[in-house]
Chain A
Amino acid sequence: MTTYFTKDHEWISVDGPMGTVGITDYAQEQLGDITFVELPGEGDSVSKGDSVSVVDSVKAASDVYTPVSGEVREANGALADEPELVNTKPESDGWLFKVLLSDASELEGLMDEAAYKAYVDSL
């Protein structure tokens, strides 16, 4: 399983053809307390860069862009009752959705953990 990162502060963890997407610890830190997460519908067909989810915090509502194209297979239903999971465990239990990749080569343009860390440090 490999995890990739985007400049918009999403992460995607890929296991075979399936990717799990969330926002990074840096992103949740910037947003502050998350109050509501709008998730994509299961079965939705999405294209890389589409705004597919919205994360509301006490400060702002922010779009989440899918780092890859494919079909949404599962949305994290636990966030309906516990949106704070995105704050407490952004890169594990606070995942947003799972997507079946249609083009694995799209991963090539994303950052690995070290590159993302360097990117965040540069901000």
Chain B
Amino acid sequence: MNAPNKSGWKPEMGEAGAGPVARTASGDAGLALEEALIFELGGTGKCGVDFDEEPGDVSPALAKFARKAPVDLPALTEPEAVRHYTRLSRQNYAIDLGPFPLGSCTMKHNPRLNEAMARLPGFADIHPLQPMDTVQGAYEVIEQLADWLCKLTGMEAVAMSPKAGAHGELCGILAIRAALEARGDAREVILVPESAHGTNPATAAFAGYRVENIPATKDGRVDLQALKDRLGPDVAGVMITNPNTCGLFERDMKAISDAVHAVGGLVYCDGANFNAIVGKVRPGDLGVDAMHINLHKTFSTPHGGGGPGSGPVVLSELLAPFAPIPFVRRDEKGRLRMVEERGAKDHLPQTFGRMTAFHGQMGMFTRALTYMLSHGVDGLRQVAEDAVLNANYVLRSLEGDLDAPFGEAGPCMHEALFSDENLPEGFSTLDIAKGLIDEGFHPMTVYFPLVVHGAMLVEPTETESKAGLDRFIASMKSLTARAKAEDESLKSAPHYAPRRRLDETRAARKPVLTYKGEGVPPGTPSLSEIGGS
């Protein structure tokens, strides 16, 4: 037998959970740890540190605000607190534990070299309000990173401050708005195709535009003719996700840009999927006016609970004068300076203003630049190639098992898209996703994009090895086969996770968002009812 783990579980050991007792006294089962809420753990009168005696007499000016009832915070010793969070982390899943094929999220490995550089005291122990002459190295990181981003995208300028993808979208659309208003040509409508990210229409609406949909073609791309038919003097611009959220490259991108520019509109490109084309395609050559780049996706900085996002926005020559403050510039003596409101009128009089208190996510800048310098341009090109290769390997390996709606339209980019078409009646995308948890994987993105029924969007990223992909594919094949054999147990998966399948409908309809101790409202399900084992 080809055992996947030679020193681990063997068939003769029996199934997990089939031990001599149905349940241990502690609730733990070996290394499968159970853990209570922190409010249920802490007694009173314990503390991890020694505080001074409570002062008898507080400031008379504040006396009337003195608390009369106990705060009722959990009280734990230091080892209890450490264990609580460590035990909880054992119930979680992370990119450092295994593949995280969440489509559109680009959950790739976070290289440890990035972490080492970000922890250098010259980067880690500085403050944004420190004198500029004492942080020249940090400013140089920002300047170099900005230069890389402009060169990789073929764009004129970059706004470094946006904190993540959607914030970057807002930055780009505000720049477009500022540019249009500066020429006295306020327009009302932003066109968003069905194959765009869901945040795109939200961003356009937030920036004050009316959003209109452009349909997708049968092969999952923007319907160029429908777009051209809608263009007119009221259209401020389009927001195109490229590669799009069906995992396909918008081949008509240049034609789209030309058509939009011809009627005086501007082109926003959602660059969340830039990892599929980095080093291969320069969006500036495709007529893009603004595009955000997710450093936390393409350039490997941690996200999804592991760290904050960072969404710099590259801008075309036309939009560069409207970039937000603050930004880094060299003065006449070659010193790097952070330009704020006061300096803006000399350097960038048409700036649309400020989006953030400071210059952006310094920790992510350091990591992203480390990633670029350690890969080089050739390495980044290989990142794109391997990301696309891996996704196509998954697509072609599974298209005989699951329906791949755009499989015949040619190769995919960085993610493979499947529908629930081949699953038998009564079995859904959700069952496959929950089954993946039992298989030890984080589920893929489900029910998105909306243009595909019961969508399963798998993004393996370039950091998975072929052996890792083969394991994932084997699990997917097994789950699909179980569904096709109408294995009822799949409908109640996961069976081996710390919690069984949760009642997502009830959680959304009757959310209990705060711990109320004994005052939890009647009818709130107990842990055992919602599948606690």
Contact = CB atoms under 8 A, between A and B. Distances in A.
A in complex with B: yes
Interface string B422-451: 000000000000000000000000010010
A57 to B, nearest CB: 9
B2 interface: no
Contacts of B505: 33, 35, 58
B58 interface: no
A35 B508 contact: yes
Nearest to B504: A58
Contacts of B450: 60
B509 A83 contact: yes
Contacts of A33: 504-505, 508
Contacts of A58: 504-505, 508
Interface residues of A, number: 9
Nearest to B213: A63
Q: Is the interface of A mostly helix, strand, loop or mixed?
A: loop
A3 B102 CA distance: 43
Interface residues of B, number: 6
Given A35-B508, A36-B508, A84-B509, 13 more contacts: A33-B504, A33-B508, A35-B505, A35-B509, A36-B509, A56-B508, A58-B504, A58-B505, A58-B508, A59-B447, A60-B447, A60-B450, A83-B509
Most buried by A among B447, B450, B504, B509: B509
Interface in B480-520: 504-505, 508-509
Q: Is the interface of B mostly helix, strand, loop or mixed?
A: helix
Interface string A6-41: 000000000000000000000000000101100000
Interface in A38-89: 56, 58-60, 83-84
A58 B428 CA distance: 13
A33 B504 CA distance: 9
A38 to B, nearest CB: 14
Contacts of B509: 35-36, 83-84
Contacts of A56: 508
A83 B450 CA distance: 22
B472 to A, nearest CB: 24
Nearest to A62: B450
17 contacts: A33-B504, A33-B505, A33-B508, A35-B505, A35-B508, A35-B509, A36-B508, A36-B509, A56-B508, A58-B504, A58-B505, A58-B508, A59-B447, A60-B447, A60-B450, A83-B509, A84-B509
Contacts of A59: 447
A56 B511 CA distance: 14
Nearest to A30: B453
A54 to B, nearest CB: 13
Interface in B443-464: 447, 450
A20 B450 CA distance: 28
Contacts of A35: 505, 508-509
A58 B502 CA distance: 12
